Chain A
Amino acid sequence: MSRVLMRGNEAIAEAAIRAGLKCYFCYPITPQGELVEYMARELPKRGGVFLQAESEVAAINMVYGAAAAGVRTMTSSSSPGISLKQEGISYLAGSRLPCVIVNMMRGGPGLGNIAPAQGDYFQATKGGGHGDYRLIVLAPSTVPEAAQLVMLAFDLADKYRVPAMILGDGMLGQMMEPVELPPPVDPSSIPEKPWALTGAEGREPNVILSFDLSPQGLREMNRVLQDTYREIERSEVRWEEVETADAEIVLVAYGTMGRIAKTVVERAREEGIKAGLLRPITLWPFPYEPLRELAERVPTILTVELSAGQMWEDVRLAVEGRAKTPFYGELGGVVPTPREILSEVKKHVSS
């Protein structure tokens, strides 16, 4: 293990290379420029392919081709660029091609700005492109966690043949922190991909499709996807709980907001407020069950997001009226301070 000071964007890039990344395709956009630069500098030296595409649309379709060839492949962008990739993501999901997509979210809609935001939650967790599909969505809240989750994203994508997304934001990308980088993955430990397009020498041809003109056939393709998603929901829900055992109010926040909410919980405790935190690490599959269990005994579940309340909908689905579910959010790239959130917490506790 090596301990180094890195930006979030760089740590993600380095972790991806250590995960066995072979092909990275990109189109420049702020605030994930350092990720692109790191890849341009490092990936070719370490036996991989770096290619700057003519558009995000082209980049995601290059990922589609490289994933079909059976290698570990990735693209990264930020909100407007991720919108452009949605067609390709739908095809990747439909064709069951594993890959990793990094979205360092910025303010939206439209061109928005380059400040940190969480307005792409719906897009990431509910589909984004057309059709009934899901991505595995991992939301790191610190730079070391980002490095870990990138490695995990490649493993989960390969295991389930489902594209995985790292959903960060501009703050995580720019922030520098000490990181203990995981050792490089042994290439022989990466599972075989007998479905990959490697040339049909000595076997029946492999064909990769996301279509079937017969409704019955397409229903079967969809059933395979849905069965896979149910399996992921059973096995891969990840979350962190902080001080929830005796909590009278639990905050729900992810990513950068999850980190800030942790500070809020500490300060609330210092003032005698029994606050806790549930921080989803997988946004899909969402930790519905742990939240439901908390809602059985905690009177107030406060959702805090850098959006108008996108994850809030999943929180309310989990709680189903068992507790009060207030919301506190900021928009446009404004990041609330722990003090502002704490005063919101105080509105909802009886003491």
Chain B
Amino acid sequence: MSQVSVEIPPGYQKVFGRPRALSDAPYTYCPGCHHGIIGRLIAEAIDELGIQGRTVGIAPVGCSVFLYRFYRCDFIQAAHGRACAVATGLKRANPDLIVFSYQGDGDLAAIGTAETVHAAARGENFTVIFVNNQIYGMTGGEMAPTTLPGQRTVTTPQGRDVALTGYPLKISEMLAQLDAPAYITRQSVHDARHVQLARKAILKAFRNQLEGKGFSLVEVLATCPTNFRMPPVEAQKWVTEKAMQFFPLGDLKVRDE
């Protein structure tokens, strides 16, 4: 795709455009999916802080495995769940880099729980964007560690039975108990107001890294209309009526405040 340049007429001012940190590559996400919004918020934070030239992103396994295509910055793809260990290696090797990982719930809160918890406990100075849509998207809608009680997935066809598979993992609440993390927060992007709140949270999580404050994680509740088997508008309601009941929004830990 080629960049479209539009000349701004005299007396006019450009107030909205594509973030510079985003490439021209079109997103590969399904209609109604929240990855695109979250991805843009990250790009806006990179632009605002002027850190595009020193940022390294870590793409996970899952629907956002192609994340590296969407940004104009260095990128690496990590094995499933290992992003926080890879980020640790990158940042320790070169502390001048701004490192962020982008991980789903299966990646961060199931197979990568140990890497996540220990990176947080060490207070590693990088930024984690944790997208919690309560389901495995790429593999076809299986139960996630954050799948809600009663929620139907292809591996809980009768709905998640807590007697058999236990309860969802509230990983942000768990991480907030640790001494080292600088910032642990849960946000949502289901409406314009919450998009703005999430934008501020992501910006803060990156600014913390610039200021050397240590581990910052922004959990973002998201939808997966395809695997929820719902139209996008109905999936938005799922966030407010179901997900937010189990995963309340707000800051869980803010150090130095």
Residues of A within 8 A of B (CB): 22-23, 25, 49, 51, 53-55, 57-59, 61-71, 73, 87-88, 91, 95, 197-202, 205-211
Residues on B with C-beta less than 8 A from A95 are 76-77
By beta carbon, the residue of chain B nearest A204 is: B72
Task: Among A49, A64, A68, find the residue whose CB has the most chain B CB atoms closer than 10 A.
Answer: A68
Residues on A with C-beta less than 8 A from B65 are 211
CB distance B93 to A23 under 8 Å? yes
Q: Which of B168-214 contact A (CB under 8 A)?
A: none
CB distance B115 to A58 under 8 Å? yes
CB distance A64 to B93 under 8 Å? no
Complex formed: what's the CA distance from A61 to B93 in Å? 13
Complex formed: what's the CA distance from A208 to B75 in Å? 6
Residues on A with C-beta less than 8 A from B93 are 22-23, 49, 65-66, 69-71, 73
Ranked 8 nearest A-B pairs via Cβ? A65-B89, A201-B53, A61-B85, A69-B93, A62-B89, A199-B54, A54-B118, A66-B89
CB distance A200 to B86 under 8 Å? no
By beta carbon, the residue of chain B nearest A22 is: B93
CB distance B54 to A65 under 8 Å? no
List 10 other contacts, CB 8 Å, given A65-B90, A207-B76: A54-B115, A57-B85, A58-B85, A58-B115, A61-B89, A62-B92, A64-B79, A68-B76, A68-B90, A199-B97
Check: B73 CB closer than 8 A to any chain A CB: yes
Known: A58-B82, A69-B97. A207 touches B68 (CB 8 A): yes
Task: Among A54, A67, A73, A206, find the residue whose CB has the most chain B CB atoms closer than 10 A.
Answer: A54
Residues on A with C-beta less than 8 A from B76 are 64-65, 68, 95, 197, 207-209
The answer, among B55, B86, B91, B114, for a CB contact under 8 Å with A64, is B86
Task: Among A22, A23, A51, A199, find the residue whose CB has the most chain B CB atoms closer than 10 A.
Answer: A199
The answer, among B53, B75, B78, B96, for a CB contact under 8 Å with A61, is B78
Residues on B with C-beta less than 8 A from A70 are 93-94
Known: A71-B93, A198-B94, A205-B72. A62 touches B77 (CB 8 A): no
Q: Which of B85-124 contact A (CB under 8 A)?
A: 85-94, 96-98, 114-115, 117-118
Known: A25-B89, A201-B54, A209-B68. A64 touches B82 (CB 8 A): yes
The answer, among B56, B78, B115, for a CB contact under 8 Å with A199, is B56
CB distance A206 to B74 under 8 Å? yes
Chain B contributes a number of interface residues (CB within 8 A of A) equal to: 34
Check: B247 CB closer than 8 A to any chain A CB: no
Check: B147 CB closer than 8 A to any chain A CB: no
CB distance B52 to A73 under 8 Å? no
Residues on B with C-beta less than 8 A from A69 are 56, 89-90, 93-94, 97
The answer, among B55, B77, B88, for a CB contact under 8 Å with A208, is B77
Residues on B with C-beta less than 8 A from A65 are 76, 85-93
Residues on B with C-beta less than 8 A from A49 are 92-93
Contact sample, A vs B, 6 pairs, CB 8 Å cutoff? A61-B115, A65-B85, A201-B54, A206-B74, A207-B68, A209-B77
CB distance A197 to B56 under 8 Å? yes
Residues on B with C-beta less than 8 A from A54 are 114-115, 117-118
CB distance A64 to B75 under 8 Å? no
CB distance A51 to B88 under 8 Å? yes
Check: B228 CB closer than 8 A to any chain A CB: no
Q: Which of B54-77 contact A (CB under 8 A)?
A: 54-56, 65, 68, 71-77
CB distance A207 to B53 under 8 Å? no
CB distance B79 to A88 under 8 Å? yes
Residues on A with C-beta less than 8 A from B52 are 200-201
Complex formed: what's the CA distance from A71 to B95 in Å? 12
Complex formed: what's the CA distance from A211 to B97 in Å? 24
Residues on A with C-beta less than 8 A from B73 are 199-200, 205
By beta carbon, the residue of chain B nearest A60 is: B85
Known: A67-B89, A69-B93, A207-B68. A87 touches B79 (CB 8 A): yes
CB distance A88 to B82 under 8 Å? yes
- Shortest B91–chain A CB gap in Å is 8
Residues on B with C-beta less than 8 A from A58 are 82, 85, 88, 114-115, 118
Residues on B with C-beta less than 8 A from A202 are 53
- Shortest B123–chain A CB gap in Å is 13
- Shortest B21–chain A CB gap in Å is 10
- Shortest B60–chain A CB gap in Å is 12
Complex formed: what's the CA distance from A202 to B91 in Å? 21
By beta carbon, the residue of chain A nearest B69 is: A207
CB distance B90 to A200 under 8 Å? no
Complex formed: what's the CA distance from A207 to B72 in Å? 10
CB distance A53 to B77 under 8 Å? no
